[in-house]
Amino acid sequence: MNSPSDFDVIIVGGGMAGASLAIALAAENIRIALIEAVSPRAESQPSYDDRGLALSLASQRILISLDLWDAVSSSANPIEHVHVSDQYHFGFVRLHAEQMHLPALGHVVLARELGRILMERINVTKNIQFICPAQVKDIVIHPEQAEVTLLQDGNTSEITAHLVVAADGSYSPVRKILGIKTDFRDYGQTAIVTNVTPGKPHNNTAFERFTTQGPLALMPSTENRCVVVFTVASESAEHYLNMIDDEFLAVLQSRFGRRLGKFQRLGLRKFYPMQLIIAREQVRERVVILGNAAHTLHPNSAQGFNLCLRDIAGLAEILLPAVRDREDPGQRRLLNQYHDLRRPDQVQVTRFTDGLASMFYNDLPHKIWFRNTGMLLMDICPSLKKSFALRAMGLHGKQPAMVRGLAP
């Protein structure tokens, strides 16, 4: 018989990635421990803040598979149109859901709301034990199991599992404990996230405007609010954060223009430094690195969590049938299979976001000409536009069963 401290899977990090994976794996009757350092109710919870998340069509399908979409959709705002432009230049790309015979190209949901929905499900799922607040202090990988040392209320204790998943964020303590190195790049940009009410209806349009100071995104939210991701050079971030609201609104307005009328009612401003962090190993015997711990991307095309959800769907597709057949979920063969399945998508999305970050943060004349001509071509050429749209919706290449509308 199993002791209460023996699990099949231990997930470290109960943020968006860890909580979603726990729910995906709980479909099989396995014992899951979900370890989280910060209470979901705490103001300081780093994953579930007031960030607006654009969820792709692929993510919607995964959330439908996990039976979470009904709850998410009640507070989500559809994206029916996308408008991408380059400030002061001629290029633009427009996408319309109707032209693609879809009700929406994606949806915007607040991270805090998604967190509430994930936690509600975790709390009623019997085979998930949510251990919070607790921190992982050590991990030892044995041939038959992984042993994890927890620090909770000043006391240490040991738990074991066949598989440990590190979903503990960009600066992953688990990665450090295991000595997994990263490729790191600081973009020298900081994203200031806030929200505004535009003077005109947003008509469910998402705007991405590239400027030489960095991209500016406005995503349509409920009650005609817009979630703003305003990127600035990191050395001037404090200057923008210290501005009084009216001054900040004026800067925002001049960067975006008058397309949505006058901006009013600025929300709280929060900042995030933009970095590229890629774990050099994503799987090891009895270990998987997931979410921001595996790949932290520039948010310029709203891909991070969408990519992570497709990774979760891929991992569930490999592990659930194996667990059903009473196989060991931590065995290297299965984890390699997961890595091979997901690697092409991860590489493509990473190159795409990284390429956008350097291509648009640049005012060399040949780069301006190249990117604007590229955007115009994309706008007028249906096959290029379709390929761009499929990528934005997470439907490019070979995708996991849940994205194809199948159960794993």
Q: Give me the residues that bind ligand FAD (CB under 6 A), please.
A: 12-18, 35-38, 46-47, 51, 53-54, 135-136, 167-170, 173, 191, 193, 229, 272, 291-292, 299, 302-306, 308
Q: Which is nearer to ligand FAD, 282 or 368 (CB)?
A: 282
Nearest to 403 by CA among 63, 33, 114: 63
Helices (H) and strands (E) in the chain, counts: 11, 19
Q: Which is nearer to ligand FAD, 16 or 27 (CB)?
A: 16
What's the start-to-end Cα distance of the chain, in Å?
Answer: 28
Q: Which is nearer to ligand FAD, 51 or 286 (CB)?
A: 51
* Tokens 């890629």 sit on residue: 278
Q: Which is nearer to ligand FAD, 97 or 368 (CB)?
A: 97
CB of 373 to ligand FAD, least distance (A): 27
Q: Which is nearer to ligand FAD, 79 or 93 (CB)?
A: 79
* Tokens 């409920």 sit on residue: 222
With 0-12 / 13-18 / 19 or more C-beta atoms within 10 angstroms meaning exposed / middle / buried, residue 91 is buried
CB of 195 to ligand FAD, least distance (A): 12
CB of 303 to ligand FAD, least distance (A): 6
Q: What is the largest CA-CA distance in the chain?
A: 69
CB of 309 to ligand FAD, least distance (A): 8
CB of 320 to ligand FAD, least distance (A): 21
CB of 337 to ligand FAD, least distance (A): 22
- Count CA atoms within 13 Å of residue 221 on its CB side: 22
Look up residue 158 and give its two tokens: 């040991």
With 0-12 / 13-18 / 19 or more C-beta atoms within 10 angstroms meaning exposed / middle / buried, residue 41 is exposed
Q: Which is nearer to ligand FAD, 198 or 299 (CB)?
A: 299
Rounded CA-CA distance 198/200 in Å is: 5
Rounded CA-CA distance 385/231 in Å is: 26
